[in-house]
Amino acid sequence: MRHFKIPIFFLFSFFFTSTLFAGNSAVENKGINFFNGTWEEVLEEAKKQNKPIFVDAFAVWCGPCKWMDSNVFPQEEVGDFYNANFINYKYDMEKGKGRDFARKYRVNAYPTFVYIKPNGETVHKTMGAKPPKVLIEEGQRALQIFNASR
């Protein structure tokens, strides 16, 4: 009987720990939800929802990009605003089709935030790491331009 207690203890510990970590992932998801898919799929989704696109144009080695990922994008107030108003997309400018995107939208510094209409036309663009309040203000500016052009 003693031999069964040890595996049961470890099994219980595993389920308890995995439940605990699953709960933490839900807490972390209060920020910006970035679309998973190709650029073409992002454009399609934006057309379906009639929303502009927010693109975080980044490079993996970029310190300010990492700072945005850790300190700004996870903020609930930032997520609330961006998730309600944009299709959000992270795009590595140094891999695959990201290079073509960088040329087309003239991305030459990281991070660059590009706000784009569903038809692919640029609405607004800004560069550099920003605190949450400023990033929301940039998004509001882009929305005003987008709404005025409808």
CB 54 within 8 A of CB 113: yes
pLDDT in tens, 30-67: 999 999 999 999 999 999 999 999 999 999 999 999 99
Confidence of residue 29 (pLDDT cuts 50, 70, 90): confident
73 backbone dihedrals φ, ψ, rounded to 5°: -60, -35
Cα separation of 56 and 8, whole Å? 46
pTM for this predicted structure: 0.81
pLDDT in tens, 109-136: 999 999 999 999 999 999 999 999 999 9
38 backbone dihedrals φ, ψ, rounded to 5°: -85, 165
* Token duo for residue 13: 């510990």
Q: How many beta carbons lie within 10 A of that of residue 138, not counting itself?
A: 17
CB 66 within 8 A of CB 74: no
- Count Cα atoms within 13 angstroms, Cβ side, for 60: 3
Helix (H, G, I), strand (E, B) or coil at 118: coil
Q: Would residue 110 show up in a list of annotated catalytic residues for this protein? A: no
Residue range 31-148 in CATH 3.40.30.10: yes
Selected catalytic residue, list 57, 62, 87, 135: 62
DSSP 56: E
Q: How many beta carbons lie within 10 A of that of residue 89, not counting itself?
A: 24
The β-bridge partners of 88 are 34, 54
pLDDT in tens, 77-92: 999 999 999 999 999 9
Residue 53: burial class (beta carbons within 10 Å; 0-12, 13-18, 19+): buried
Selected catalytic residue, list 55, 65, 87, 135: 65
Q: Would residue 65 show up in a list of annotated catalytic residues for this protein? A: yes
